[in-house]
Chains A and B, each alone.
Chain A
Amino acid sequence: MSTTTPTSAATSAPTSSGRSRTRTVHLGSFGRQTVAGLRMLLVMTVLVGVLYPAVVWAVGQAAFRDQASGSLVRRDGVVVGSSLLGQQWTGPQWFHSRPSVSEYAGDTSGGSNLTATDPRLLREVAQRRAALGAGGASAPADALTASASGLDPHISPEYAAAQVFRVARARGLTTEQVRRLVTDHTQRRTLGYLGMPRVDVLELNLALDAAARR
């Protein structure tokens, strides 16, 4: 006669040893659970609210000081921006960033939230096209649209190319010189496939300034 052995519970309690003891504490009341909860919250606050960020901060200070403080870009010892943040560029001598709802002020961030068919966006796009002048009709998408953050540091290589002629003329450089600068500052996809080809506008403008000074 064979017998069926009862299936043993696969998940043993973390504390099955405690089950044999009669000292099973039933913190029955909501009040007692809440007190325990308060103490737990305080302990967790110390653990993951103080210690954890402190350790990460310490690692940052030790190993990634530049990144930890916002990847600031200095020229002649003066901070001129963050390599991660786009800026508002006015005047024809600069490569312009994408349109930004916040005009790159940085005190807050965000976008328009408008859909591609929203009349308000279409109006703005028409204005942006007009502002681009002759190139407006064939402007690349990023020249016409605002980013999600309002701080997009990049433009597409196409938008950069579209600005070469204007910048060169304003700076008195040849388009060939400027185009080479653009090519030099065009970042390819990371590892060859991650993300998009892009141009960091601050870096390009810094290089442009440097080239103009020479």
Chain B
Amino acid sequence: MGTTLSGLLTIATVVLVLAVAHVPLGDAMARVFTGERHLRVESAVYRLCGVSPSSEQRWSTYALSVAGFSAVSIVGLFALIRFQGSLPLARGAAMDTDTAVNTAVSFATNTNWQSYVGEVGASPVVQTLGLAVQNFVSAAVGLAIAVALIRGLTRNASTTLGNFWVDLTRSVVRILLPLAAIGAIVLLAGGVVQDLTAPEVVHGLSGVDQTVQSGLIASQEAIKELGTNGGGYLNANSAHPLENPNAVTNLVQVVLMLVIPFSLPRTYGVLVGDRRQGQAVLAFMATLWVAMLAVITWAETAAATGPLGAMEGKEVRFGVWGSTLFAHTTTATSTGAVNSLHESYSPLGGGGVLFNMMLGEVSPGGVGAGLYGALVVAILAVFVAGLMVGRTPEIVGKTVGRREITLVALVTVTTPALVLLGTGAALALGTARAGLLGTGPHGLTEMLYAFTSASNNNGSAFAGLTADQPYLNLTLAACMLLGRFVPILLILALAGSLAAQRRRPATDGAMPTHTPLFAGLMVGVAVLVTGLTFLPVLALGPLAEALS
């Protein structure tokens, strides 16, 4: 079998699995967030936390809960990292203060940018009790925000959006935990390590010693992908054979990254009472996913005809196709795990994964974040083009007025502002520039990639950049923090504003938001807004590199 056919069949397998899985999973998630009953374990959680699951929160209270929980997460994780030396299983792991700040913010914002080296920076205690826990809860926060926005669209003249603690708990207990457990056991069977003994030093046959790493990797690996987190237990992340041993685990990881983001449109459709609405969002996400996969795969397979076969920074077991599928998926989902080195990609391949993140992580984006990002695109599309049907723009019966478009526009401007200002400032500053591995346009892309990844909460890197320095650690942490919570705050305000409106009945006069045309319009808006914002810098980075 030829490599191309094998690659296409692999992609087809992913598509098939998702096509089958997104329906029951999407329906199940819709039930999770509408069910009246609490599981016994959930009731116990609420009791222990002293929260009343029956209280409904206004958007502002909901936002305060998110803020309070995330603040505690960041501080708690920071403390755990700083005190890891005094805790069991320390094994000499340590991080500087700025690195610890960066890491704590990174994992609490679902970014999982890693300034540290997994093997030496984080002890098993930090990995399992700190990082892996954030992998669960930060993804759950994303789901909660998405559900709050959906409630904003579906509720009629309501002042409340649900209860954050309930949404968070249910996301973890009913969605993430069961799926992660299944994923972990499959990965474990495939060869991913799950062990707490100390790393073993092996005396090799040819006389060279080698450390075989250990850790509770399989359990963390599953949620790393499922929660679109991406922070590797080990430095090489999913390129490391102990994290991602073969083509099957690679496929499983790709599916884990995509399965929740691609199922959420279905959840959305079910909850708004019109599945076609969800299908349009799904079509939007899928179109971008397929198109960008084609671009990146094309760029890398073209590069593979050269003498180096595009194999620098890629593993033999994955080859070019298995690498690009993963690289594309990880950047399209805000995961940021890598099974190959993005910086070693061809200019257009690397530019492609960069563009994936610039799109705002909507193809299909992170857990929850992808859906609310896509709905922001939908509202933007509705507003501009909706006028062209001669009505005040509306989406699923809710009017997009001044307040709504203001919030949506601010969401749209937040990450580009962080990316452009962050990159510009870092390039102007000697200390940050000194961390670059690349030179010329490639160096520009390297820095741009870092700030794009952080601001969009992706976490992957052009890893040649020496980011473990105070300036970059702190500015990138700021980008992650603002890139995550400014949009979340605005989205919750938007949800509150939408919930307060009366829902207008669907009529033929309203702009249809369930048609292929609308999905195409969303694609156009997303690509145009991203393109117009970033074309100058893309021209100076990847395009200049590709065309010279």
The chain A residues found within 8 Å of chain B, CB to CB, are: 4, 6-19, 21, 23-30, 32-41, 43-45, 47-50, 52-53, 55-57, 59-60, 63-64, 67-72, 75, 78-82, 84-91, 94, 98, 103-116, 118, 121, 125, 140-142, 144-156, 189-190, 192-196, 198, 202, 205-206, 209
Contacts and interface: CB of A to CB of B under 8 A. Distances in A.
Contact of B189 (A37, A57, A64): A64
Contacts of B203: 78, 80
Nearest to A63: B189
Contacts of A125: 307-308
Pick the 5 closest A-B CB pairs, nearest first: A195-B247, A141-B309, A18-B54, A33-B68, A113-B464
B387 to A, nearest CB: 24
A107 B119 contact: yes
B240 A151 contact: yes
Interface in B103-143: 117, 119-120, 128-130, 132-133, 136-137
Nearest to B350: A115
B138 to A, nearest CB: 11
A33 B236 contact: no
B69 interface: yes
Contacts of A147: 239, 311, 313-316
A149 B213 contact: no
B372 to A, nearest CB: 15
B239 A33 contact: no
B69 A57 contact: no
Contacts of B180: 52
B68 A36 contact: yes
A115 B438 contact: yes
B274 to A, nearest CB: 9
Contacts of A145: 308-309, 311-314
A148 B205 contact: no
25 contacts: A10-B273, A11-B271, A13-B56, A15-B54, A21-B54, A25-B55, A35-B50, A36-B165, A39-B48, A45-B133, A56-B188, A57-B219, A71-B245, A81-B202, A89-B208, A104-B208, A106-B212, A111-B344, A141-B307, A144-B311, A149-B240, A154-B315, A189-B1, A193-B5, A195-B322
Contacts of B236: 109-111, 148-151
A34 B51 CA distance: 12
B172 A44 contact: yes
Contact of B188 (A59, A152, A193): A59
B346 interface: yes
B150 A11 contact: yes
Contacts of A44: 133, 136-137, 172
Contacts of B424: none
A5 B161 CA distance: 23
B55 A18 contact: yes
B517 to A, nearest CB: 24
Contacts of A189: 1, 6, 247
A148 B310 CA distance: 12
B344 A38 contact: no
Contacts of A63: 189
Interface string B129-163: 11011001100000000000011001110101011
Given A26-B55, A106-B210, A115-B343, A10 B272 contact: yes
Nearest to A119: B439
Interface of B: 1, 3, 5-6, 9-10, 13, 33-36, 41, 45, 48-58, 61, 64-65, 67-73, 76, 117, 119-120, 128-130, 132-133, 136-137, 150-151, 154-156, 158, 160, 162-163, 165-170, 172-173, 176-177, 180-181, 184-185, 188-197, 199-200, 202-214, 216, 218-220, 223, 234-236, 239-242, 245-248, 250-251, 271-273, 303-304, 306-319, 322, 338-341, 343-347, 350, 397, 437-438, 442, 462-464, 503, 505
Contacts of B438: 115, 118
A75 B202 CA distance: 12
Contacts of B346: 115-116
Interface centre among B166, B245, B350, B505 (most CB of A within 10 A): B245
Given A11-B154, A67-B188, A189-B6, 11 more contacts: A13-B151, A15-B36, A40-B49, A82-B242, A94-B206, A107-B120, A110-B463, A111-B312, A111-B344, A147-B311, A148-B340
Contact of A36 (B51, B56, B442): B51
A7 B273 CA distance: 11
A205 B176 CA distance: 42
Nearest to B70: A37
A43 to B, nearest CB: 5
Nearest to A125: B308
Contacts of A202: 205
A196 B206 contact: no
Given A70-B214, A111-B341, A14 B53 contact: yes
Contacts of B173: 47
A9 B442 CA distance: 52
B317 A198 contact: yes
Given A91-B206, A145-B312, A195-B317, A49 B33 contact: no
Nearest to B201: A106
B216 A53 contact: yes
A52 B240 CA distance: 23
B49 A39 contact: yes
Contacts of B341: 111-113, 148
Nearest to B323: A148
A138 to B, nearest CB: 10
B136 A89 contact: no
Contacts of A37: 65, 68-73
Given A30-B67, A48-B177, A53 B128 contact: yes
A63 to B, nearest CB: 8
B29 to A, nearest CB: 12
Interface centre among B67, B68, B117, B303 (most CB of A within 10 A): B68
Nearest to B345: A115
Nearest to A195: B247
A40 B46 CA distance: 8
A205 B205 contact: yes
Interface centre among A9, A110, A116, A140 (most CB of B within 10 A): A116
A213 to B, nearest CB: 13
Contacts of A23: 52, 55
